[in-house]
C-alpha cells in the first residue's frame, strides 16, 4: 500500500520515489492490449498509429486508446500525491506512451523538465524556457520488462539544479556521477515518480528490446496548460470533476503534442517502394531516391 506522506518525504529527500504497484498488473496488461494495434503502423494520412522520430516511437492521441489509460493518468492516489507535493492543484501538462529502440544515433542528455515548452510555428521547433520555481512531478511507468536503457536520476539534484536556470546538465556529469541511480533490470509495471527538477535522462543503450513506457508530467495550476489533450467520446461520459480538472477540460493548450517529426519518416520501406513504382517521370524518381538515401 502506498503511503502518500512517506512518498512525499522520499521525494523531498531524494528527488524521487518508487511507486511500483500503484497501477495494477491487470491495468498494465489492458493498456498493453489497447496500444498494440496503433504501435503497428505510423500515424499518417488518416491511418492512426505512432509518430516516428528516429529510434523512438510515440503513440499519437495517447489518451484515446482505452479508458484504462485515462484511469492510470488520473489515479486518485497519484493526483493527491502530486497536489500535496506541488502545494497546488495540478494538471497533466505533458504525456506520452512511447517506445525507445536501441540506437547508435541518439542518446538523451542529462536534463530537467521544470520548464515551459512552446511550439514555434516559424522555426518548427519547441522553444523552451526554464522556470526555476516550477515544482511538479513526472511519472515514468514501464510497460515492458526493462533490462537496459532505463531511466536514470541524479539523487538529491532537485535541491540544487534550480540554482542553475538551465535545461541541460551534460557539462556537469563529472560532479554528480556518484549520485546516479539507474532503473535497469526492472519488471513491467515499475513506476517511478520524481520532482521534475531532478536531473535525469534515459540511459544510453545500443542493443536489446525496445523499451515501452508511459510518461506523465503534472504541473501546478499556475504553470501553462501544456499539450492538447484529445479524448474519445466513448470514455468521457462519467469522468469525475477531479479527472476533468487534471485533464484540462475547458482550458486552452499552450503548445503542441511532442514530438513533431519529419513527415518523410512516417513511410515504411515498402511504402517508399510503392511510391517509386508509381512514378512515371525520371525527375520524380530521382528526388525520391535522394530522399531514401537520406533516410537510410
Ligand atoms: O524515457 C526516459 O527515461 C526519460 C524521458 C524524459 O526524461 C523526458 O521525456 O523528458
Ligand atoms: Fe525529462
Burial group, residue 270, by CB count within 10 angstroms (0-12, 13-18, 19+): exposed
Rounded Cα distance between 186 and 288, Å, is 43
CB 81 within 8 A of CB 4: yes
Expressed in angstroms and rounded, the spacing between residue 125 Cα and the centre of ligand 1 is 18
Q: Residue with the nearest Cα to atom 9 of ligand 1?
A: 215
Expressed in angstroms and rounded, the spacing between residue 242 Cα and the centre of ligand 2 is 26
pLDDT tens for the 296 residues of the chain, in order: 899 999 999 999 999 999 999 999 999 999 999 999 999 999 999 999 999 999 999 999 999 999 999 999 999 999 999 999 999 999 999 999 999 999 998 899 999 999 999 999 999 999 999 999 999 999 999 999 999 999 999 999 999 999 999 999 999 999 999 999 999 999 999 999 999 999 999 999 999 999 999 999 999 999 999 999 999 999 999 999 999 999 999 999 999 999 999 998 998 888 888 887 887 777 777 777 887 787 66
Burial group, residue 170, by CB count within 10 angstroms (0-12, 13-18, 19+): exposed
Question: What pLDDT is recorded for position 268?
Answer: 86
Which sequence spans correspond to the domains of the chain? 4-261, 262-296
Which among 96, 133, 126 has a CA at the least distance from the CA of 223? 133
The topology (CATH level 3) of 4-261 is Jelly Rolls (2.60.120)
215 lines ligand 1 (CB under 6 A): yes
Q: Please enumerate in sequence order all residues whose Cβ is within 8 A of that of 140, keeping only pairs 6 or more positions apart, or say none.
A: 151, 191, 192, 213, 214, 215
Question: What pLDDT is recorded for position 296?
Answer: 63
Question: What pLDDT is recorded for position 110?
Answer: 98
Question: What pLDDT is recorded for position 276?
Answer: 78
Closest ligand to the CA of 168: 2
Q: Please give the number of the atom of ligand 1 that sits closest to the Cα of 202.
A: 3
Expressed in angstroms and rounded, the spacing between residue 139 Cα and the centre of ligand 1 is 10
* pTM listed for this prediction: 0.94
Q: Residue with the nearest Cα to atom 7 of ligand 1?
A: 201
Amino acid at each position: 500500500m502506498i503511503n502518500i506522506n512517506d512518498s512525499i518525504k522520499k521525494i523531498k529527500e531524494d528527488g524521487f520515489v518508487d511507486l511500483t504497484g500503484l497501477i495494477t498488473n491487470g491495468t498494465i496488461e489492458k493498456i498493453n492490449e489497447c496500444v498494440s494495434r496503433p504501435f503497428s503502423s505510423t500515424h499518417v494520412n488518416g491511418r492512426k498509429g505512432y509518430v516516428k522520430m528516429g529510434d523512438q516511437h510515440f503513440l499519437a492521441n495517447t489518451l484515446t486508446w482505452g479508458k484504462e489509460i485515462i484511469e492510470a493518468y488520473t489515479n486518485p492516489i497519484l493526483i493527491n500525491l502530486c497536489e500535496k507535493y506541488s502545494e497546488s492543484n495540478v494538471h497533466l501538462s505533458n504525456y506520452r506512451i512511447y517506445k525507445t529502440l536501441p540506437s547508435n544515433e541518439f542518446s538523451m542528455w542529462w536534463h530537467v523538465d521544470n520548464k515551459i515548452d512552446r511550439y514555434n510555428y516559424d522555426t518548427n521547433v519547441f522553444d523552451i524556457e526554464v522556470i526555476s520555481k516550477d515544482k511538479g512531478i513526472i511519472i515514468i511507468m514501464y510497460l515492458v520488462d526493462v533490462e537496459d536503457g532505463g531511466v536514470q536520476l541524479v539523487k538529491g539534484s532537485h535541491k540544487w539544479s534550480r540554482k542553475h536556470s538551465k535545461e541541460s546538465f551534460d557539462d556537469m556529469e563529472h560532479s554528480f556521477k556518484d549520485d546516479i541511480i539507474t532503473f535497469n533490470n526492472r519488471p513491467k509495471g515499475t513506476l517511478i515518480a520524481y520532482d521534475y527538477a531532478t536531473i535525469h535522462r534515459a540511459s544510453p543503450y545500443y542493443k536489446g528490446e525496445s523499451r515501452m513506457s508511459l510518461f506523465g508530467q503534472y504541473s501546478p495550476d499556475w504553470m501553462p496548460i501544456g499539450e492538447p489533450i484529445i479524448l474519445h467520446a466513448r470514455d468521457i461520459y462519467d469522468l469525475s470533476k477531479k479527472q476533468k480538472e487534471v485533464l484540462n477540460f475547458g482550458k486552452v493548450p499552450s503548445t503542441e503534442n511532442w514530438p513533431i517529426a519529419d513527415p518523410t519518416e512516417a513511410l515504411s520501406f515498402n511504402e517508399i517502394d510503392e511510391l517509386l513504382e508509381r512514378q512515371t517521370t525520371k525527375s520524380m524518381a530521382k528526388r525520391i531516391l535522394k530522399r531514401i538515401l537520406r533516410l537510410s
